[in-house]
Amino acid sequence: MTTTPPHPSTPRAGKRATPPAAGTERTAAQRYDAFLAVCPSRQLLARISDKWVTLVLCALAGEAAPPAGDDAPAGPRALRYSQLSRLLVGVSQKMLTQTLRSLEADGLVTRSVVPTVPVTVTYELTDLGASLHRVVGLLRAWAQDNMDAVTAHRAGHGEGPADPAE
């Protein structure tokens, strides 16, 4: 009976997995396959493909119209929770909180607390978050640019317009 050697990304018993060393990103990327049910990259893909993740990243990147009275320059910037909530019309407090916590845990945003009265908490893209924004920002733009064509196709298939609440 032969045994199959463990997957290279699987830590040996008693050892912790360590992040890949600088310059080995290509090798690390080859170890992950999102088509496999047990691959961690599939879980990450599920987290980052959520609509609120896309919209939070785009808002922090400065793509959303600034809140009324905000004269900050366009581009990436730190936003308070209340500013994000106003920009992301329709997001519940629970969903925005969960999304921000997930993004922070994944290293995509930083949460900064300034000890003022009341306390000021801001969220800002990390370099990793900015790199993801470059991808999902294109997805958001594609959705906006092609909505009329998709709506026309849905009508041709007996489906109504896409539900804006979804």
Measure the CA–CA gap between 69 and 165, rounded to whole angstroms: 28
> Do 40 and 7 contact (CB within 8 A), yes or no?
no
CATH number of the domain that residue 97 is part of: 1.10.10.10
Mean pLDDT of 126-135: 96
Residue 65 pLDDT: 76
92-122 pLDDT tens trace = 999 999 999 999 999 999 999 999 999 999 9
DSSP codes, 58-79: HHHTT-SPPPTT--PPSSS--E
106 located within any domain: yes
Q: Indicate the helix (H) or strand (E) that contains 99.
A: helix 93-105
User: Which tens digit of pLDDT belongs to each residue from 5-50?
Assistant: 444 444 433 333 445 555 555 465 568 998 998 999 999 999 999 9
Residue 15 pLDDT: 36
Domain contains 149: yes
**How many domains are contained in the chain?**
1
Of 135, 139, 108, 106, the closest CA to residue 123 belongs to 108
Is residue 27 situated within a structural domain?
no
Q: What share of the chain is helix, strand, coil (3-state, %, to 5)?
A: 45, 10, 45
Domain that holds residue 136: 52-67+75-155
Considering the entire predicted model, what is its pTM? 0.73
